C-alpha cells in the first residue's frame, strides 16, 4: 500500500467511527423499552395533558403498557420507532385475550395492534376492556 492509500484508509475509518458515534449520540437505532411503571405513567401523562396515571400493566418485554387513571380512563403506550406513542383506550379499541397475552387493536391503522404479555393479570385487564365496551 502506498502512503496515500494508507491515509485514505485511515480517514475512512475515522469517518466510520465518527458516524457510529453520532448515531449513538442522537439516539438513532436504539431499542426503546418502558423500564417500569413510573416510566409508563410519565409517558402517558406526556401524551395527554391532565392525565394522571395510577395503575400500570406493563408488557413483560417493556414494549408497551396500559396506564389507568383514578377516573378509570386508560391509555395505551407503545414503542414506536425510536420513540413512544400513546392512544386512549376506549370502546373503539378491540381487546382479545389469549392466556397470558392481551392484544389491543385501535381503529387507527397506523398505530397497529399491540400484544402485551401480562401474565396472570391479562384476564383482569381484558375484563376492564369488556367494561369499556359495555359502559
Asked whether 44 and 58 are in contact (CB, 8 A), the reply is no
Question: What pLDDT, in 10s, does the model give residues 71-125?
Answer: 989 999 998 877 899 999 998 899 899 999 999 999 988 888 999 999 999 999 9
CB of 44 within 8 A of CB of 51?
yes
What's the N-to-C CA distance of the chain in angstroms?
A: 76
Question: Can you give the pLDDT at residue 29?
Answer: 65
Residue 128 has pLDDT above 70, yes or no: yes
Q: Judge if 25 and 83 occupy the same domain.
A: no
The pLDDT value recorded for residue 134 is: 60
pLDDT of residue 135: 53
Q: Rounded to whole angstroms, how far apart are CA atoms 99 and 35? A: 24
Both 51 and 82 in one domain: the answer is yes
25 with 90, same domain?
A: no
Q: Could you tell me the residue range of the domain that residue 127 belongs to?
A: 37-134
The residue that leads in pLDDT, 19 or 60, is 60
How far apart, in whole angstroms, are the C-alpha atoms of residue 108 and residue 85?
Answer: 12
Q: Are residues 62 and 90 both part of a single domain?
A: yes
Are 64 and 117 in a shared domain?
Answer: yes
Residues 77 and 52 occupy one common structural domain = yes
pLDDT, tens digit, 9 for 90 and up, residues 10-33: 888 888 888 878 877 776 666 789
Same domain for 24 and 43: no
Q: Say what percent of the chain tops pLDDT 90.
A: 56
Instruction: Read off the pLDDT of residues 63-78 as tens digits, 9 standing for 90 and up.
Output: 999 999 999 899 999 9
* pLDDT value for 73: 92
On whether both 67 and 93 belong to a single domain, the answer is yes
> What is the domain count for the chain?
2
Amino acid at each position: 500500500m502506498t502512503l496515500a492509500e494508507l491515509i485514505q484508509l485511515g480517514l475512512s475509518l475515522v469517518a466510520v467511527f465518527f458516524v457510529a458515534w453520532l448515531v449513538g449520540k442522537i439516539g438513532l437505532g436504539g431499542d426503546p423499552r418502558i423500564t417500569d411503571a413510573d416510566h409508563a405513567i410519565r409517558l402517558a401523562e406526556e401524551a395527554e395533558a391532565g392525565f394522571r396515571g395510577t395503575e400500570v400493566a406493563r408488557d413483560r418485554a417493556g414494549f408497551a403498557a396500559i396506564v389507568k387513571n383514578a377516573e378509570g380512563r386508560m391509555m395505551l403506550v407503545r414503542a414506536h420507532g425510536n420513540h413512544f406513542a400513546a392512544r386512549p383506550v376506549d370502546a373503539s379499541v378491540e381487546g382479545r385475550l389469549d392466556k397470558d397475552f392481551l392484544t389491543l387493536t385501535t381503529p387507527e391503522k397506523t398505530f397497529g395492534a399491540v400484544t402485551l404479555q401480562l401474565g396472570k393479570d391479562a384476564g383482569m385487564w381484558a375484563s376492564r376492556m369488556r367494561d369499556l365496551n359495555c359502559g
